[in-house]
Amino acid sequence: MADEPKNQVVEALEPPDAVLVARARANDYSSYEELVRRYQRRIYALVYNMTGNKEDTEDLVQDVFVKAYRVLHGFKGNSSFYTWIYRIAVNRTINFLHKRKRRGSSVSLDDVDQAVERDPALLELRSRESPVRDVTISELQNKLNAALQTLSEDHRTVVVMHDIQGMQHAEIAGILNCSEGTVRSRLFYARKQLQHELAEYAP
């Protein structure tokens, strides 16, 4: 009982996606902007890790949100807004990658947060008695990016969503419209290929 007013306050301060979607449909642009504010970083990370180019990523992220706004009437609410917008982002990025394959690609990477220096995986790598202990962050970033780009779009998508963005198998399956088994299988084969590509860093 006591929780009810508290929930109402929280809802007023941070309304759920469904409420914002309904308001945005009623021509309230600020509500849509709030949705963009909520998801733009995650969509950016997804697209960036799939394309490996920050300029392309910015254009694609804008494209995703413009497209979503234009087809907002088609959003039936069967899934969450988050799932829906992710689906649009994945589809548009894969289309973009197909086009890019024909005209060639370039790499332009984002800056790395200094917090990476305290990451256990990096500390473990640097504690080894092997040449890889001297690897710089920038070298490692380039290697990881190159390894990711060798994967097929389907495999790269699941690796980005699961290993980088920390999403659950079921969540990924919902976005990609496939079974959890398919997600697991793609992850298995993708990691196998990554092991081959990053063999020099493996323990």
Partner 1 sequence: MKADNKKESADEQNNFIQRLVALKRYEQPDPYFETRNLAVLREKLSGAAPGRGWANRWFGWLFNGSVPAFRMVVVSCLLALLSVNLLLLNSVPNLSPESVSPDEGVAVISSDSDMRLASTNESLDLYRKPVFVFEYPSNRQAVGPVQMGPSSVPVRYDY
Dist CA 132 CA 140 (whole Å): 9
Name the residue nearer to partner 1 (CB basis): 110 or 153: 110
| 194: CB partners within 8 A, 6+ apart | 147, 148, 151, 159
Secondary structure in 3-state letters for 130-157 = CHHHHCCHHHHHHHHHHHHHCCCHHHHH
Least distance (Å) from partner 1 to the CB of residue 155? 12
Which position among 15, 19, 72, 178 is part of the footprint of partner 1 (CB under 8 A)? 72
Which position among 119, 130, 179, 181 is part of the footprint of partner 1 (CB under 8 A)? 119
Asked whether position 165 contacts partner 1 by CB under 8 A, the answer is yes
Least distance (Å) from partner 1 to the CB of residue 102? 26
Secondary structure in 3-state letters for 45-81 = HHHHHHHCEHHHHHHHHHHHHHHHHHCHHHCCCCCCH
Q: Quick one: which of 50, 44, 48, 46 has its CA closest to 148?
A: 50
Strand partners, 53: 108
Asked whether position 126 contacts partner 1 by CB under 8 A, the answer is no
Asked whether position 36 contacts partner 1 by CB under 8 A, the answer is yes
Least distance (Å) from partner 1 to the CB of residue 163? 5
Return residues touching partner 1 (CB under 8 A). 24-25, 27, 29, 32-33, 36-37, 40-41, 44-45, 48-49, 54, 57-58, 61-62, 65-66, 69-75, 109-113, 115-116, 119-122, 124-125, 140-141, 144-145, 147-148, 159, 163-166, 191, 194-195, 198, 201-203
